[in-house]
Structure 1
Amino acid sequence: MELISSAERNRLFERFQRDAFHLELRDDYSLPGEEGPFQSWLNGDDVDYAYLRSWTQLMQQTTGRGMTVRRVRIITEPLSPYIQWEYATTPLNEEAGEIIRWLPRHLLPDGITFPFDRKDWWLYDDQLLAVGHFDQDGRVLGSQIINDPSAVAECARLRDLLWTRAIPHAEYKP
């Protein structure tokens, strides 16, 4: 299986025309470059959010072209420390133009199944999937590109179901 880098996946935002949707299923996203800010946050220290700048600029450019970028974060309650931090930083994502909703696992519809071994994925314009792959320590390995119509259709159906049930960030109070 061929994987593209995070930088290559981010270039997909230049190609889509209407909507990008991210489904997040993990309770921990330990990424290189975030250990310092995350640890600072845990310690109650000032946090330098400069590491987010390239992402927020990309989101500002993307949403500035009239595109939507949405996320549903499926989370376990009580929230893990990492997800608490992610919740605290979500206003930075939303200020850049993303729309983020939260869905506690206990509120998932009965019988729901997640494709791709419960891996996170991006869906672009109901045409292309970028499925995230992580190593055992939670580090990003890359994304697998999938354009199989039946897989794309299943993810679009799942997106629509989860989006209607998920709680907007401004309303979710963990």
Structure 2
Amino acid sequence: MELISSDERNRLFESFAHDAFHLELRDDYSVPNEEGPYESWLNGTADDSFMAPWTQLMRRVTESGKTVRRVRVVTEPHSSYIRWECATSNLNVEAGEDIRWLPRHHLPEGLVFPVEGNDWWLFDDKLLAVGHFDSSGRVLGSQIIDSPAVVAECIRVRDLLWDMSIPHNEYKP
């Protein structure tokens, strides 16, 4: 399986036409560029400057009329990482992202997640960038998939979860 880097995946935001959707299923992400800010937050000092490249990209994309949405499926009570994500999500929302939350215990019984339960970005209902992680949770890269059957299953799951998830400003864990 060929994987692209996070930088290469982020370049997909420069080329999609209408909608990008992210499904997040993990309660912890070991992303190297977040380790310092996350540790600072745990110690009571917030430093959100590491998010500037992402929020600038999101502003550029959403101000051009495109949508960027994400659903975060989370365990309650939250892990410390998810509490940090909740605390910093306003920056994403201010940059134009539409973020929703779905407590894991509200998932429909028997739901099977496509692409082996990995997180994914879906671009324009045509192209998937499926995240892969090592056993310690570190990002390995994204697999690009454009199979119509796999994409269709991700669209079905997206629509189901989007409709039942809670908008960020209404989510009260």
The bucket for the TM-score relative to the shorter chain is over 0.9
TM-score with structure 1 length normalisation? 0.97
Q: Which runs of 5+ in 2 are unaligned?
A: none
Match of 1:152 in 2: 151
Q: Aligned letter for 1:41?
A: W
Q: CA deviation at 1:82?
A: 0.2
> Matches of 1:15 and 1:43 in 2, distance apart?
39
Matched, 1:72 2:93: no
Deviations 1:97-127 (A, max 9, x none): 0000000011011111101221000000000
> Matches of 1:34 and 1:104 in 2, distance apart?
23
Q: Which runs of 5+ in 1 are unaligned?
A: none
Match of 1:48 in 2: 47
Alignment of 1:25-64 (within 5 A): 25-45=25-45, 47-64=46-63
Does the CA contact (< 8 Å) of 2:27 and 2:75 recur in 1? yes
> Matches of 2:147 and 2:171 in 1, distance apart?
34
RMSD of the TM alignment (CA)? Answer: 0.7
Deviations 1:50-98 (A, max 9, x none): 1111100110011011000000000000000000000000000001100
Q: Aligned letter for 1:5?
A: S
Alignment of 1:96-111 (within 5 A): 96-111=95-110
TM-score with structure 2 length normalisation? 0.98
Match of 2:126 in 1: 127
Match of 1:167 in 2: 166
Q: CA deviation at 1:3?
A: 0.4
Matched, 1:114 2:113: yes
Does the CA contact (< 8 Å) of 2:41 and 2:47 recur in 1? no
**For this pair of structures, how many residues does the alignment match?**
173
Does the CA contact (< 8 Å) of 2:25 and 2:119 recur in 1? yes
Match of 1:17 in 2: 17
> Matches of 1:138 and 1:55 in 2, distance apart?
21
> Matches of 2:146 and 2:33 in 1, distance apart?
31
Q: Aligned letter for 1:156?
A: I
> Matches of 1:7 and 1:36 in 2, distance apart?
19
